[in-house]
Every structure is written in structure tokens, then in C-alpha cells.
Structure 1
Amino acid sequence: MKNQFLEITDPIHDFIRLNSTEQKIIDTSVFQRLRRIKQLSGAHLTYPGAQHTRFEHSLGVMHIAGMAGTSLASKKQMPGTDIDDIRLAALLHDIGHGPFSHLFEEVLQKKKRITHEQIGKEIILKSEIGDIISKTTDKKKINRLAVGEGSKQFENEIISGALSADMMDYLLRDGYFTGAEHAKIDHNRITNSFEVYKNKLALQSSALVNFETMMISRFQMFKAVYFHKTVRAGEVMLLEAMSLADDHLGLSSMNAQEYVKQTDDTILEKLTSLPETNSELKAAKKIANDYQDRKLFKCVFEKTISGKKTFGKNTLKQFRADIAKKSKLAENQIFIDTTTTHSMPLAPSKKESSSIILIKKEGGKITPQIIPISKIPLVSTMSGKMNILRAYTQQKNRNKVEIAAKSILGEL
């Protein structure tokens, strides 16, 4: 039987083609759930157009991963038969995300050390998605590759890392839907310049400028969008509400069957409908309703922490207690947020990417060069970590907390 294809119109990639196996996967209820999980959590309260979801992002990552595979196969650097596997793994790389994406993961990790990748593994292996995959290929192979644990390192790096399809799609897509002007990436040029060197993903040296542009775009998107103080205000509220209500709602104790039924809307509905039987539930309900009505916390202090300095949970708790005492307010009126990310994308090993392999071709001669990130002038200035410390409170407490926060945190 001839393979049937479906084309989906996409604002980023024009058309995304799906084969019959991919169609069957996206038609499952488990995958369709991603339509109801926003890519950028609460960013739409700051950037109204940011209504896009994990669903279309997953399709986009699959599309770019397929482009990368086709490019490498045309150069005889990987078998063409691997392209479909790479596309499937890319399609499923976010299947384990919970409501509000990484925020829900933070709630989970407070009680059990589990990531969306681990949940994704269980979904791929034990749901109907795994049954569909098994009809055409090895679901265990796809499962490993989807979370960066495949046997071929360069295939892992196509899906996650400094040259990944994941990053190329989310930057393009997030930039488009937020209206930010920072995400300028030539993903066609980058994928067509891919090479393989010693089982690692490399880039033709002529495309170095495109890599530099992508890293700068990522850095600027974190500053302007992902770590925007008002975007984070909404996220701090969601995280606080979910944490306060966790024991009552059992958010961190759900089994896989319950987990895959949860979306942004189901969790927000649960939070805004909480019984006010104790102070924590009352506070969680108030915060959730304020979030829904866009009565966001106000940022009263902000400082970018240079170098590798980070603050542990106990330190943040102490900051909260000290500011509360100074401002003569209850601690539950003070919210300390620290947003930290590696300036360079993480490799599949979860360590910050420290180098890039460049391939130079002249007169039939191939010359590889491993370039440390620190030696790339435009990119080296961004190496290390982005770390921003902020204090938030409700509008009514703004002046008191601002004075206290500046007094206590100003000299850090």
C-alpha cells in the first residue's frame, strides 16, 4: 500500500508533511492534549499573541529534524532509512510535558525527582503511541532518541543541543507569536550545512555566522521574553498556587493515566474552584483568580547576578523572611524569584555546550576544527549563566516591599 501523506499549513514552515504513522500518532488523545498546553505558559498575559502550543511546536521540530536528516543522508553521512525515526523522535520530544510546561515540572520535582522526559518515556512505551510506532519501527529506539539517549550522538544532537531542531523551531515560533524581533534564524542554511564528524553533529565553517546569529537570538529572547519581569510575574503566581494546592489536588502524585488528562485549562479550573477550608487553599484560589483576571504580582526589585553565583532554596527562604520582617508583612505576601539558565543550550548530556565542530572543505580535502565557545567572539560574551533575582508582591504592598527588598538585596 502506498504511503499516504498529509500536509499541514504552518505559519513558520509554510507546509509540514506527515506520513501515515505520524498522522496516527498526532490523532491520539495523548498527543492532541498538547494543543491545550501553551508553549510559553503565561506569556500571553504580556504578549497577547503567544497562544501557540506544544502541539504545533512538536510538528515544527519534526519538520526541521527531517530537514536535517535529509541533508545528512544526501551527503551519505547517515542512512536515509533513519530519517523517519529521527522525525518520530522529534515529534515526541515534548510528549511528557504537563500543564504550563516547565512550571508543572517544578511542582513535581518538589516531592519526587521526575522530569518531563521521564514521563515522556513512559507515555511512549506504555500508551497507544507505542503500539502505533511498533508497527513500523522499534519503539524503544524512538523512546531513547526522543530524550537524547540514542546510540548515535549526532542524531541526539539533531533533536536537542546547540544545533537542535528543538531550539530552531521554538525561537522562530516564539518570536513570531510574541512579535519579538530578536529571533532571526536561517534554519535552512544551518540544516543544509550539517556534517557528521566522529559521530557528532558538525557544521560547515561557512555557516558559522548563522550559528552566531542563532545564539544571539536565543540570548535576546531569554532577556526580552522568557525572563521578562511581567511574564515571570504570571509564572510565579501559577507556581505558588499549584504548590499551595498540591496536597489537596494531588498534582505531584498523579499516575500516568491521570497526568495525560491534564491541561492548562483543567489545572486552572481546579485552582480557581478550590474550597477555602484552610489558609493555603484560600491563598492558592485567590492567586489563581488574580492570575486569570490578570491582576499580576508587581516586581519591586530586580538584579542581574553576574558570574556563576546562584542561590539555594534556603537562601531564598531567608531573603523572603528578612524582607517580610523589614516590611512588617507576612511571608506569604513576599515572593522571591530567581530565573537561571545556561547562556549556551544544553547538550543531550544536560551539560552546557562548550564547543562546536566546524568542517572546512577545500579541493576535496576535509579539515575539522573543534572551536571552544569561548573562542567565538560574539558568542563568548554570553557564556556562563543568566541569573536574575527578583522580588514580587501584590499591588497594595508595593511600596513597603520595594523599600525592604532594596535594603536587603541591594548589596548582593
Structure 2
Amino acid sequence: MYIEDRLYGTFEVEPVLSDLILSDAVQRLKHVHQNGASYLMNSKWNNTRYDHSIGVMCLIRTLGGTVEEQIAGLLHDVSHTAFSHVVDDALGEVNEDYHEQIKEQMILNSDIPSILKNYQYNLHSVLDESKWMILEQSAPRLCADRIDYTLRDLYGYGEISKLEVEKFLKSMVLYKGRIHLNKQSAAEWFVKQYYREVLDFFLHPLNIYSNHVMAEILKLAIQKSVITKDDFLLTDEQLLSKIQVSTDHEIRTNIKQLSSPVKVIETQDDYDIQVKKKLRLIDPEVLIDNESMHVSELSQDVKDMNAKAKQRSLKGVKIKVITQ
């Protein structure tokens, strides 16, 4: 089976990866949007968890990761719920990790264990992400997960060019199993792009608004027994369709907000919605003359960007809704 990824190119993958990609559990991710409900109000914001999962797998492969780590990368988001992190907001999960809480049970109830067993891979070994140093690293280090969603969104939404992506990818090296960059300039570039992603895009007023409205809809639908938590493992459209058949006036009023013209602006005083997201900081490791160090040790620009990012994240975002 050949896989074509718009960031990393075309790869022929092993049969175990092919079977996992074609599994029901992974195919569901084609219909789970990476950035929650925002695609309902901006159709261009349409990256999916499937796009990201394939990308992480391909990036790990590009960096020389084992087939087992590629499997882990492919499956790392397989338990993401419909509308992704919106469900965390609906359930009050401040660590944004509901999909991690349900991951093992969801996988056990899927077609994944039988596929792995057929190819003599141990399920629990694959799911132990502490083993996979390319796939996951604690912030502020680089990892395939952070790199892919940053590049994928910014490239997909026209904020960076393919040439910039390719130049950055060529700057990546593995050192002691971890992703490093071989140039200070590449690290500074990525820090800038990462904050465009997690601050300018994640905290974009329309993103905040659409996901806030959807979280309120999901809260109401759970409270009024229109849906159950099991329904969170449907696709975005399946879950929304199940809610839309409800005759509850409060739910239907909220749903209309996602299809009505609206203008939302960031403000400091008179606001309708206030949101604080998980603190996300980045400080890539660079390899200079065979010495590993964080780029903030070399760059005042990165120190300044990190300080501003921390301040803005802790402050949160306030938006005003102006109906049209």
C-alpha cells in the first residue's frame, strides 16, 4: 500500500500499517476534525485527525523510527472523540485528556488488537508512549506530534509555504533518540510558527466561539439524555445529526448559532466568552558542534517569544460576539 502525504511525500508501508490504516477505528478519524467545530463556521479549517495521524506516522518513518513506533504514531489519536478537544470543554476536563482516559478501552473494543496480533505485535507495548521518543516528548521539546500539527495547520491554511516546510524538515536530526535541529535559525523559525498555531490560530476568536458553542450544545445534550458519552466515539457529523433531531428548544437555539452569520472580536472589557487554554510552550533542542542545548540558551528572540506566549496563555482570551 502506498500512502501520499502532502507534507512528507509518498511511502510504501508495511502490511501491518496498511491493515491498520484501513481499519474502522482509523478510518473514523477521516470524519473527526482536528480543530473541533470551527470547520462548521470556516470550511477551510478542515484538517482531520486522520490527516494528522498519517502525518505523524510518516514523519516518524522519515526520521528512521521503527515500524512499531510508526504504529504508535498512527494510533496515538485513534480515541479522539467527535469534535476533538471540544468534548474536554463539555466535560470540564482541564487537562484536555479525555481521549487518553478512554484510549485503551476504546482500542480493545475495536479491530486493532486482532490486526496487531495477526502480525505478532504486542498491543500494550505499542500503547506505551513512554517508549517512543520521536512520537512524544514532554514540552517544551520537539516531537513528531507537535511538529506535524503545527506544520499541517499552517501549511494547509496558507500561512507557510511548502518550501519553508521542506527547508525545516531538512534541519531535523536525531540525537540520543530525540528530535533536534541543526541550525539556530531553524529553531527560531519553528518557535515563531508554533506560537502562530497555538496562540493566533487556536485562540482565534472564531475558533473560540465555534468550539464554545459546540461545548455548550454537548453539555445540554448530555444533561437532557439526548446523547451519552458513548456517542462521543461517533464521527463529527454522526454526533451532530443525533443532536439535531432533538426537539429541545434550548439545544436547537444553540445549534442555530453555528450556522448564523456572526462577527467575533477579541476584547479586554465588555466580553461574552472568556477562555483559558492549556499552557503550551516550545523550546527546541539544537545540536551545535555535537552539543545539545535548548535554543533559548542561544537566542534572546526565543526567550522573548516564550515570555510573551506564557503571559498571553495565562491571561486567556476574551471575545465579544456581534451578531449580523
TM-score by structure 2 length?
0.84
Aligned to 2:296: 373
8 Å contact kept, 1:343–1:385: no
Contact 1:227/1:339, CA 8 A, preserved across alignment:
no
Match for 2:257 among 279, 290, 297? 290
Hey, what does 1:172 align to over in structure 2? 151
For residue 56 of structure 1, the aligned residue among 51, 55, 60 is 51
Contact 1:182 1:220 in 2 (8 A): no
- 2:63 aligned to 64, 68, 79, which one? 68
Q: Structure 2 vs 1, CA of residues 230 and 338 (structure 1 numbering), >3 Å: closer, same or farther? A: same
Structure 2 unaligned blocks of 5 or more: none
Asked if structure 2 preserves the Cα contact closer than 8 Å seen for 1:34 and 1:55, the reply is yes
Root-mean-square deviation (Å): 3.1
Aligned residue for 1:337, secondary structure, equals: strand
Choose from 207, 222, 242 the match for 1:246.
222
Question: Would the aligned equivalents of 1:299 and 1:392 in 2 still touch at CA under 8 Å?
Answer: yes
Which residue in 1 is equivalent to 2:180?
Answer: 203
Does residue 137 of the first structure (1) align with residue 113 of the second (2)?
A: no
* Structure 1 residue ranges (4+ consecutive) displaced by more than 6 angstroms after TM superposition: 158-161
Distance 2:265 2:139 in 1: 36
Determine if the alignment matches structure 1 residue 18 to structure 2 residue 1: no
Task: Say which one has the larger Rg.
Answer: 1
Tell me the residue number matched to 1:340.
277
1:307 aligned partner: none
Code of the aligned partner of 1:142: V
Q: Which residue of 1 aligns with 2:243?
A: 271
Query: Aligned to 2:293, what secondary structure does the other structure show?
Result: strand
The one of the two structures with greater contact order (alpha-carbon pairs below 8 A, sep at least 6) is 2
Kept in 2, the 8 Å contact 1:160–1:167? The answer is: no
For 2:71, the equivalent position in structure 1 comes to: 88
Deviation track 1:267-309 (CA, whole Å, cap 9, x = no partner) reads 2223322222xxxxx2221111230x2434x436524xxxxxx
Shift of 1:35: 0.8
CA distance in 2, matches of 1:123, 1:385: 37
**Inter-partner Cα distance in structure 1 for 2:147 and 2:134:** 15
Secondary structure of residue in 2 paired with 1:64 = helix
Query: In structure 2, how many angstroms separate the alpha carbons of the residues matched to 1:9 and 1:114?
Result: 29
Query: d(CA) in 1 for partners of 2:151 and 2:136?
Result: 18
Partner of 1:409: none
Q: Is the 8 A contact 1:28 1:129 kept in 2?
A: yes
CA distance in 2, matches of 1:356, 1:169: 14
TM-score (norm 1): 0.67
Q: What does residue 224 of structure 1 align with?
A: 200
Change (3 A) 1:335 1:11: same
Query: CA, structure 1 residues 215+300, in 2 after alignment: closer, same or farther (shift >3 Å)?
Result: closer
Change in 2 beyond 3 A, CA 1:68/1:337: same
Letter of the 1:162 counterpart? R
Tell me how far apart the structure 1 counterparts of residues 6 and 292 of structure 2 sit (CA, whole Å). Answer: 36
Partners in 2 of 1:137 and 1:129 — Cα distance? 11
Paired position in structure 2 for 1:308: none
Q: Structure 2 residue aligned with 1:359, among 283, 287, 293?
A: 287
Q: CA deviation at 1:32?
A: 1.0
Supply the distance in 2 between the matched residues of 1:220 and 1:343 (Cα, whole angstroms): 12
User: What is the CA distance between 1:97 and its match in structure 2?
Assistant: 0.6
Residue 150 of structure 2 contacts residue 194 of structure 2 at CA under 8 Å; is this kept in 1?
A: yes
Correspondence for 2:317: 389
CA distance in structure 2 between the aligned counterparts of 1:140 and 1:113, rounded to whole angstroms: 23
Separation (CA, whole Å) in 1 of partners of 2:3 and 2:295: 39
Structure 1 counterpart SS, 2:12: strand
Secondary structure in 1 aligned to 2:305?
coil
TM-aligned CA deviation for residue 24 of structure 1: 1.0
- CA-CA distance at 1:110 after TM superposition: 5.6
Does the aligned pair in 1 maintain the 2:5–2:54 contact within 8 Å? no
Give 1:167 deviation, angstroms: 2.1
How many residues are treated as equivalent by the alignment?
316
Mean Cα deviation higher: 104-113 or 214-223: 104-113
- SS of 2:218's equivalent in the other structure is helix
One of 24, 27, 30 as aligned partner of 1:35: 30
- Report the CA distance between 1:369 and its aligned residue: 3.8
Measured after TM superposition, the shift of residue 63 of structure 1 is 0.2
